[in-house]
Chain A
Amino acid sequence: GAVVSQHPSWVICKSGTSVKIECRSLDFQATTMFWYRQFPKQSLMLMATSNEGSKATYEQGVEKDKFLINHASLTLSTLTVTSAHPEDSSFYICSALGPGGLASSYNEQFFGPGTRLTVL
């Protein structure tokens, strides 16, 4: 099946620094990737939709300048948390839309294993 990887799996950083998280589709091309944030004991909150070669679409309430998303190729999307603060500590999960594409009636998302960010 389709595999999505994330790197790093966990990161600890100091307040004020920036952190980049990579999301890769390993065996398929993904024109669309999604970034989620998960708080403890909560569901996934969609942060943004990333389309290859264009600007990401952010959900309401998500700061574009703080969470920079780049989808420069069909297999890689990156999320950069800029000037991170302790409240940004969370579990960040990416997913990639399956090979069916948006025109299909059924599009399976394949999830990465997540990145645990801890900001001190």
Chain B
Amino acid sequence: GNSVTQMEGPVTLSEEAFLTINCTYTATGYPSLFWYVQYPGEGLQLLLKATKADDKGSNKGFEATYRKETTSFHLEKGSVQVSDSAVYFCALYDAGYSTLTFGKGTMLLVSP
């Protein structure tokens, strides 16, 4: 079956630090990959996506590249802000299934 593995958090950074949150996946088909963000007390919001190998998703300064050879989709941001503090979920969508498969989420805490 499909699965998504994320690095465990929390990840604690100072403002303007570089961020990497690792995500690897296992899938039987050719999935689309996503990063969702969940701010405290809110539902999930799509942050970025990539639908095929070598695609780079980007949004709000965050980037992730779909690496088929390493089955990875690591999230990066060059300079984090306090407002980026949230839980980040890596997910995949496989057309053979009808819904997303989520990782366990990684909490990011950014201090001033």
| Residues of chain A from 82 to 120 with CB closer than 8 A to chain B in the complex | 93, 95, 97, 102, 105-114, 116
B56 within 8 A of A: no
Query: B98 and A93: CB pair below 8 A?
Result: no
| Residues of chain A from 19 to 61 with CB closer than 8 A to chain B in the complex | 32, 34, 41-44, 46, 49
B57 within 8 A of A: no
B residues whose Cβ falls under 8 Å from a Cβ of A: 32, 36, 41-46, 49, 51, 89, 93, 95, 98-100, 102-105, 107
Query: B98 and A102: CB pair below 8 A?
Result: yes
Query: A42 and B104: CB pair below 8 A?
Result: yes
- In the bound complex, residues from chain B placing their C-beta under 8 Å from that of A43 are 89, 102-105
Most buried by A among B46, B100, B104, B107: B100
A residues whose Cβ falls under 8 Å from a Cβ of B: 6, 32, 34, 41-44, 46, 49, 93, 95, 97, 102, 105-114, 116
Once bound together, how far apart are the Cα atoms of A112 and B36, in whole Å?
13
Of all chain A residues, the one with the shortest Cβ separation from B34 is A108
Contact of A109 among B95, B99, B105 (CB under 8 A): B99
Query: B100 and A109: CB pair below 8 A?
Result: yes
In the assembled complex, how far is the CB of residue A21 from the closest CB belonging to chain B, in whole angstroms? Answer: 12
Once bound together, how far apart are the Cα atoms of A114 and B44, in whole Å?
8
A42-B104, A43-B105, A112-B43 known; A105 vs B99 contact (CB < 8 Å): no
- In the bound complex, residues from chain A placing their C-beta under 8 Å from that of B93 are 106-107, 109
- In the bound complex, residues from chain A placing their C-beta under 8 Å from that of B98 are 32, 49, 97, 102
Query: B44 and A111: CB pair below 8 A?
Result: yes
- In the bound complex, residues from chain A placing their C-beta under 8 Å from that of B45 are 111
- In the bound complex, residues from chain A placing their C-beta under 8 Å from that of B49 are 108
Most buried by B among A49, A95, A109, A116: A109
In the assembled complex, how far is the CB of residue A82 from the closest CB belonging to chain B, in whole angstroms? Answer: 23
- In the bound complex, residues from chain B placing their C-beta under 8 Å from that of A34 are 99
